[in-house]
Amino acid sequence: MTERSVVIIGLPESGKTTFLGALWHLVTERDIETVLRFHNLRSGDVAHLNAIAARWRDARIQERTAVGGNKLVSMNLLNAAKTPVRVTFPDVAGEAYRRMWEERACDPDVAEILQAGGILFFIHADTIRPPQWVVDETELSKKLGLPVPEGQEVPWHPRLAPTQVQAIGLLQLLREPPLDIGPRRLAIMLSAWDKVADEGLEPYAYLKAKLPMLGQYLERAADSWDWRVYGLSAQGGEYDSTKEGAPPSEEAEALRNLDQASKRIRLIAGATETHDVTEPLAWLME
C-alpha cells in the first residue's frame, strides 16, 4: 500500500464541500474516464458523502461544514498501474483556517491533519477581497458626496485583510513548526471558475492579475512549494436560490437535466480542460 494524504484547505465558502461532493459522485458513478479510480472507502460516513453528492446532483447549495463537526473521509483510489493509493480528506470547516489566520491558533486535531503531504488550497475566484487604499477610499467618498471624517480612528480586524494576504499567511503557517513537514506539493484551486471565465485568462494568469502578491510569493519559492494553479467549476453554474418561496432557476434546471451530471464539472489547467477532478489529486500524490 502506497499511502498519501491530501488535505483540503480554504476559508469559509471557498468551495471545499462542493468539490468533495463532485468528487464522490465522479469516482462512484464512473461514467467518465478519470486518472484515479475508486477502490474502496477506508473510513468516513457514507451517508454524509452520499448526501453532499445528492445535493450536488440536485443543483442545491451545500450546507456549510459545522464548526467542530469535522468529518474525516479516507478512501483508496487506483492509479494507472492499479496500485492502491490512500487519500484522506478532512472536511474541516473554513472557520478553523480563519482562526489560524486571525488568532494564530490551531486545534490539535486540525494541526495533525494539516501535516498531510499534499495541499489542495481553495480560493473562491469571484469573491476575492482586493487591497483597499485609504486615498482611493477617500476620493471615492468625496465623489459620492459622503462625509470624510478627519482624524477618526478606524478599527481594523484581521478578517478585513485582502484575500491574498490571508492566503499567504496560511501557507507560511504550514511551513512553521509544528505544521512544517518540509517541502510539499500545493494545488491552488480557483473555484467558481464559471463566474470569471469570461475574462479570458487562464488560471495562472488570473491568479497573477487578481492575487499578484500570492503569485510573487509562489514564483519566488520563498517556502519551497511545488505548486500548480487550476480553475475549477465543480458546481457548474448558478444553483437555486435559498430564499423561501423562490422559484427554481433556469440554470439549475438545465444542470439537473443533463444526461451526465459529471460533465457539468470543468477543471482548467493552462490551456487544457477536463471533467476529471482527480487530476490534481494524482499530481499531488506523485
CB neighbour list of residue 237: distance below 8 Å, 6 or more residues apart: 59, 194, 251, 252, 254, 255, 264
> Are the C-beta atoms of residues 125 and 192 closer than 8 Å to each other?
yes
Give this prediction's pTM: 0.87
Fold of 2-285: Rossmann fold (3.40.50)
Q: Is the dihedral of CA 162, 163, 166, 169 positive or negative?
A: negative
What single letter denotes the amino acid at residue 134?
A: V
CA dist 273 → 249, 266, 283 (Å): 26, 7, 16
Q: Where are the domains of the chain?
A: 2-285
Helix (H, G, I), strand (E, B) or coil at 32: coil
Model pLDDT for residues 99-147, shown as the tens digit of each residue: 888 888 888 878 888 888 899 999 999 999 988 776 666 676 677 777 7
Return the bridge partners of 121, or none: 9, 188
Query: Beta-carbon neighbour count of residue 30 at 10 Å?
Result: 11
Q: What is the mean pLDDT of residues 37-50?
A: 87
What single letter denotes the amino acid at residue 104?
A: R
